[in-house]
Structure 1
Amino acid sequence: MSLPCAHGGPASTGVLKASPADFQVFEHMHVRPEGEGEHLWLEIEKTGWNTEDVALLLAKQAGVHRLAVGYSGLKDKYAITRQWFSLHLPGKADPEFDWPPGLRGLQGLRHRRKLNRGTHRANGFVLRVTDFQGDRQQLEQQLATIERQGVPNYFGEQRFGRGAGNLVRGTEWLCGGEAPRKKALRGLWLSAVRSNLFNQVLAERVNRQCWDRVLAGDLLQPQGSRGLFLADDDTEAGERVIAGEVHPTAPLPGVPGMASSGPCRELEQRILAPYATVIDGLCSIGVEEARRATRLPVRELQWSWQAEREGEVCLELAFTLPTGAFATTVMAEIIKPESETSG
């Protein structure tokens, strides 16, 4: 699923994840455990483990039901990630955990509440691009632009499953095919379908160079908020978008909710028209329409160059993204993976 870039596209190549240590993710929590309560919050470093598999292990070793374990977000398996989990242990002492290879307990603190999905507000990333090939000065200019302007807020390829399988199966289901047998698959398939529709609308806005500018009839979203308001109701909307205070949005289709209007609405309807059957399927099962910002701010962006063996060069990057955003979306603006350069 090739998507248009906003800053000239990648002119450099490199290996994005030669090892898990080259892709590190850290949750930025805005809630800290208080030190007392029925819930034990654990910060865990994991490598080669899915988030859900860690939750199952914690439940087993603590002798509690899986539903007694909470976490804020899903993290990559083939990476080094640090994230928080909680266990509901009313009247119980802290368990003794036997950490298998790939897991390390960093700290454990009590809290009065369970850790729910979406509790953390941002993720920090430290990435290494090995075997870098390209013009360093040009890449640094792209990074400086990204630091100022952000990037299009595409959903990353991992949202669609291996080989886009979740997208394919979800589309077939909504067009009258076989429904998923498991509840978890239902969510994955629906998410993949809606994410693809969002990406298609955003791609058109990137082509029109209005992904980070107001389009008449836009629905805007303040930075750090899920609220929406009509751009036409704010005489300073254009200036506020340029300043990064608010962002344009595009639809995650479903049962119609608050709608855009004018040229923005016309653009969205034209791009989504070929997917009418899929959108009808979303509406028929009661999925409600939502909106997502079209611009992704990239905060605290830093980079450096490291010499590797035999004269190879490594690019090291660090930045912070809000939850729901994809580091691979940032990297797609500047690096073309070596595996994609042949042919």
Structure 2
Amino acid sequence: MPEPIVVDVADLPRVTVPAMAGRYRVESADFRVEEVFVHPLDDAGEHLWLWIEKTGLTTHQAIERIAGDCGVAARQIGFAGLKDRHARTYQWLSLPWPIKAELPTWTVADDLIVHAARRHGRKLKRGAHTANRFSIRLRDITYPEAVDDGESLTALATRIASQGVPNYFGEQRFGRQGTNVEMARQVFAGKRLPRNKRSIALSAARSFLFNQVLAARVAGGTWARALAGDVFMLAGTNSVFAGNTTDETAQALAERVASRDIAPTGPMPGQLGPRAVVPESPAADHEQAVGQAYPDLIDGLVAARVDAERRSLVLAVDDFRLARAGDDLIVSFGLPAGAFATSVLRELGDFVDAMRIR
């Protein structure tokens, strides 16, 4: 039997030595997330889109509340992404609503506020937002004795803004005790789970394997560099190409990576389709080593008929800002949908999620 896998994201290598330590999410309002959409609404149609603010609620809990107020089934309410419970978050929901019907009324509560209601021709779909904007208050800050926090933090903020950070999956993906990968092994062994738990388990296995490949590249200093044989992703898209299939020189590819036009990728393992783009050595060596270390996870994902994908190794951080607020720090930035804010925080320092240890 293989050794049990208990994931601790804190063990993954970082680009720099932590410049500080502290806590975040001491209060729900300390962690603010706002969905970013680029597509305008029609202001016409049979779907009502609601811009909500929620605090201390999961997205599903907010949906249940809205469904009850409006007299519709929760399954009819659309949303783009699941937002943190222990946070103050802003996101769109949509529900079917007859054109001639008056707007519904909502219960007024501190933990759930409907700020706007607009019509649109379509239901809101998962993944429809392009990005999320974060504003996080860091409390109880301490600095190593050797660190000049003023100059060091300025340099660190500049590097994060220009280079980005390793695109790790955060601890949320692996469960409170880090045991979701072991739950995937139970699925591969034939255990039947509810659909949502099965999906969580398979996602955790893929995320774990990706993190292992990325960790090897971070440790080797190549996570944000072009290696021979790499598969690259075009910035702002999911389009990938193999570097060795182009006419571009190694220098040209390296310059495109440095300018953040493209980024090297790692595997989201599963079954390879006929048009799959795969790396070659030496870039493929890290992926092959991880596959050899965890063959049961690779085989299980293939047997589960999960489609293989690629994910950028580099997480681009948009409009990164770091400001003092008394004894605290406020860090704000934008990330593409599906990225983890904790991957940015861990490059700033050792920060403990106060909500998760209660």
Change (3 A) 1:339 1:157: closer
Instruction: Give the alignment partner of residue 24 of structure 2, picking from 16, 29, 37.
Output: 16
1:251-297 Cα distance to aligned partner (Å, 9 max, x none):
01000232111211222101221111111111112101011000001
Partner of 1:189: 201
Amino acid at match of 2:14: C
Partner of 2:12: 3
CA contact (8 A) 2:24 2:353 kept: no
Partner of 2:191: 178
CA contact (8 A) 1:12 1:139 kept: no
Amino acid at match of 1:262: S
Instruction: Give the alignment partner of residue 298 of structure 2, picking from 272, 279, 285.
Output: 279
Q: TM-score, normalised by structure 2?
A: 0.89
CA RMSD of aligned residues (A): 1.6
Q: CA deviation at 1:338?
A: 5.6
Q: CA deviation at 1:56?
A: 2.2
Amino acid at match of 1:111: H
Unaligned residue ranges in structure 2 (runs of 5+): 1-7
1:204-233 Cα distance to aligned partner (Å, 9 max, x none):
011111111111111100000111111122
Bigger shift: residues 46-55 or 94-103: 94-103
Q: CA deviation at 1:101?
A: 3.8
CA contact (8 A) 1:201 1:268 kept: yes
Instruction: Give the alignment partner of residue 211 of structure 1, picking from 215, 218, 223.
Output: 223
Unaligned residue ranges in structure 1 (runs of 5+): 308-312
- Specify the SS of the correspondent of 1:107: strand
Q: TM-score, normalised by structure 1?
A: 0.93
Written as runs of structure 1 = structure 2, the 5 A alignment for 1:85-96 is 85-91=93-99, 92-96=101-105
Partner of 1:310: none
CA contact (8 A) 2:345 2:351 kept: no
1:151-182 Cα distance to aligned partner (Å, 9 max, x none):
000001011111113222113322x15231x1
1:327 aligns with 2:341: yes
1:228 aligns with 2:240: yes
Amino acid at match of 1:124: R
Instruction: Give the alignment partner of residue 183 of structure 2, picking from 169, 182, 185.
Output: 169
Bigger shift: residues 315-324 or 254-263: 254-263
CA distance in 1, matches of 2:62, 2:89: 12
Q: CA deviation at 1:339?
A: 8.2
1:62 aligns with 2:70: yes
Q: CA deviation at 1:34?
A: 1.5
CA contact (8 A) 2:135 2:331 kept: yes
- Specify the SS of the correspondent of 1:201: helix
Partner of 1:103: 112
1:122 aligns with 2:159: no
Written as runs of structure 1 = structure 2, the 5 A alignment for 1:40-59 is 40-59=48-67
Instruction: Give the alignment partner of residue 257 of structure 2, picking from 210, 223, 241.
Output: 241
Equivalences, count = 332
The 4+ residue runs of structure 1 with deviation greater than 6 A are none
